[in-house]
Chain A
Amino acid sequence: MQTAWGWLPAIYLFLGGTSVGALLVAAAFEFSGKRYQYNFCPTSLVGATVSGPLIILGALVLIFKLGAGLREPWRIFYMFTHFSSVMTWGVWIITFFITISLVYGFLEVMDTFPAAWDWLRARRWLRKAKFLWNLPIRRTKRLFAGVGLVLAVGVAAEQGSLISAVGPAIPFWSTRVLPFIPVPMMPVLFLVSALSAGLGLTVDLAATLAVGPMEQRVKSLPWIQMALIGVQTLLLGMLLITALVDGGSAAQSALEIIVGTYAVVFWVLIVFPGLLFPFIVYACAAGLGRHSLVSRVGSGVGIVVASLFLRYLILASGIYAAL
C-alpha cells in the first residue's frame, strides 16, 4: 500500500475537485442562460463564490503536508520551476485558477447584489478608478467564467495526471481507460467526479436550501445528474475491470477495493452515498416530479462525502509494482 501520501493530499484533491466542479456548474448556468431565468440564482452565486476559497483552502492544507511548507516556505516558489513535473504544471494552473475564480466570484456577487457594487464604487479610494464606472459587469463576468471553465478542466485533469504520471511504480494509478486505449483513466474520472461534487454542493445543497426544489426551475437537472452518476459508475467499473485485466499489482489494488481492505470504504462510503442513493433520489424526482428536502440534501451531502472518500481510496489503494 502506498503510505507516503496520507489524508492531507486526499483532502487537497477533494477541495480542489469540489472547487473546480462548483465553478464548472456556475459557468454552465452562466452560458446556458439559466443564470438569468430568475432574479436570484443561488447555484451560480454559490458556485462562483466558493470556488476560489475552496481551492485556496486545499492549497493551504497541502502546505501543511510539505516538509518545508512551514519551515522554509520560500522553497514553495521553486515548485514553479521544473516543467517536466506534472506538479509544476499544477502549481501554475492552480495559481491562474485561483486568480480567475476569485475575480469571477467577486463579479458574480456584484451582479447579484447591484447595491453592493454601487456602494463600492462610491468609496473615495475607488472614485479615481474611472474604468469601474462603465465596467460591463456581465460581459466581464462571462469572460472570466470562460477562462475559468478552461482552467477548471485543466485543474481536474492535472489532479488525475499527477498520480497517473507516477508511471510504472504504481500501475493502478496509470490504468488506461480501456486496455487497448492508451489514455489514463484518472484525469477523466477526476473530472467527472469533480463535476458531480460541484453539482452536489451547488444544486443539491446550496440551491435547495435557498430556493427549494431546483427541478421546478431547471427541468433537465435530474436527468443531467443521473447521466453524470451513470458516467461515473461506468468509469469506476472500467477502471476496476481494466486493472483486473492488467493483472499484477493493479489487479491487487482493484481486489483490495472490491473485496479487500477498502471494501467498506468503497461500498459504504462511495457507492451507496455517492452513486446509488442520489440515483434513486433523482430517479424519483424525474419520475414523480417531486421529492423531499431531506432526501435532496442527503444526496448532496452523500455525493460530496463520496467525492472525498473516492480520492482517499484511490491514493490509499495504490500498490507498488513487485520487485
Chain B
Amino acid sequence: MVFLPWFHDTTIPVNCQTYSVGLDRRADMEYNQCGKFVIYYSILNTSGGPMERSGISRRRFLVLMAAGAAVAAGAPLLKSVLPTATSERPKARYALVIDTGKCTGCGACIEACHLRNGLPEGVSYIYRIVKGNNRKPWFLMVQCQHCANPPCATVCPTNATYRREDGVVLIEERLCVGCRYCMPACPYQARVFDEERGVADKCWLCLPWVLGGGLPACVEACIPGARFFGRADDPDSEVAQLIASGQAKPLRPEFGTEPSILFYVMEEE
C-alpha cells in the first residue's frame, strides 16, 4: 500500500483528460484483487454518472481567477441579499435488486465475479442456494448484502470493514488483521478468506467500475437479466421504482441488517 498525502484534492490525467479528484478518506488507493494499483479517483463524482471534465487551460485559469476575485469581493454583499444556499450534491445510494423469478441459477454472475476480481480457483463472492422443490426449484444467489447495519463491521476489531455513505461496505485491506471474526458474524455467509493475502474478502459491488459509470460484473453478465443495479435515491432509476413497488424484499429482514441488496422472492409452495 502506498500512501501519498499530497494526492488528495488534486488533478490527475485519465485518458488524456484532466480530472478533478478528491480522494476518499481511507479507501483511496490500494492494490485490487488482480494485483493492480487502483485509485478511487472519482470519489468526488458522487452523482454516479460519467465524470465531468475539469481540464483547465492557462487562459481559462486567468478568467477563473478574475471571476473568483470578483466573487470574493462581492460575496459579503451577495450573502446579505441571498438566502443561505444549500449547495450539497445529493449522495448516491446504490442498490441491487435480484428478480428470483427470472434467475435461472446459471451461475454466469459467479463466473463473472470470479474473473473480474481475479479470485483463486473455486472462489467467488457469490454462491447459490437452491430453494423450492424438485419440480419447481428456484435460486437464491447470495453475496455481500451491503447492509446498513453490517454485523461484520461491528465485530471487526481493527475497523477494517466499514460502510461508505453510498451504502457500499468495503474492507480496508491494510487494516485487516485476518482474524476471521467477520466470517461467522455475517449471517449471509458472504465472507471468503483469501489465504494468499491473509484477509477476509467479500463482494465490493465492483466499486471502481460503478464509480466510473459502469456496472458490477454480476449485473453485466446476468444472462436472463435478473439483476437490476442503480441508485436507490434517484426516483427515476429502475431500481428505485422496483423498490417503491414494495415487491423487492431484503433477505431475512429479522436479522435487522437492512441490506442494500433486495430480492423478488417467489412464495414457496
Contact = CB atoms under 8 A, between A and B. Distances in A.
A323 B156 contact: no
Contacts of B175: 75, 78
Interface stretch (B61-69, B184-192, B241-249): B184-192
A274 interface: no
Contact of B256 (A2, A66, A79, A168): A168
Given A67-B198, A68-B198, A168 B254 contact: yes
A78 B184 contact: no
Given A68-B198, A76-B177, A166 B185 contact: yes
Interface string A148-174: 000000000000001101111110010
Interface string A281-323: 0000000000000000000000000000000000000101101
B178 interface: yes
A314 to B, nearest CB: 12
A69 B155 contact: no
B261 interface: no
A273 B187 CA distance: 35
Interface stretch (A82-90, A215-223, A258-266): A82-90
A81 interface: yes
Contact of B156 (A67, A69, A82, A173): A82
Interface in A1-22: 2, 4-5
Contact of B188 (A78, A81, A167, A323): A323
Contacts of B181: 85, 87, 162
Nearest to B180: A4
Given A68-B178, A167-B151, A4 B156 contact: no
Tell me what chain B mostly uses at the interface: helix, strand, loop, or mixed. Answer: loop
A321 B254 CA distance: 11
A71 interface: yes
Contacts of A71: 198
A166 B184 contact: yes
B266 to A, nearest CB: 15
Interface of A: 2, 4-5, 65-69, 71-72, 75-76, 78-79, 81-82, 84-88, 91, 162-163, 165-170, 173, 318, 320-321, 323
Given A85-B156, A86-B155, A169-B151, A79 B179 contact: yes
Given A78-B158, A82-B156, 4 more contacts: A5-B183, A67-B197, A168-B254, A168-B255
Interface residues of B, number: 39
Interface string B164-205: 000000000011111111011111110101110111100000
B184 A87 contact: no
A88 B129 CA distance: 34
A87 B180 contact: no
A-B pairs, top 7 by smallest CB distance, nearest first, are A67-B178, A67-B198, A4-B183, A78-B158, A87-B157, A169-B187, A82-B159
B193 A67 contact: yes
B67 to A, nearest CB: 45
Nearest to A87: B157
B155 A323 contact: no
A169 B179 contact: no
15 contacts: A66-B198, A69-B177, A78-B157, A78-B175, A81-B157, A82-B156, A84-B155, A87-B155, A87-B157, A87-B179, A162-B181, A168-B151, A169-B151, A169-B184, A169-B255
Contacts of B160: 78
Contacts of B116: none
A321 B187 contact: yes
Given A67-B193, A168-B256, A323-B142, A85 B176 contact: no
A171 B214 CA distance: 39
A323 B129 contact: yes
Interface in B141-161: 142, 151, 154-160
A166 B155 contact: yes
Contacts of A168: 151, 187, 254-256
B184 A88 contact: no
Contacts of A165: 155, 185
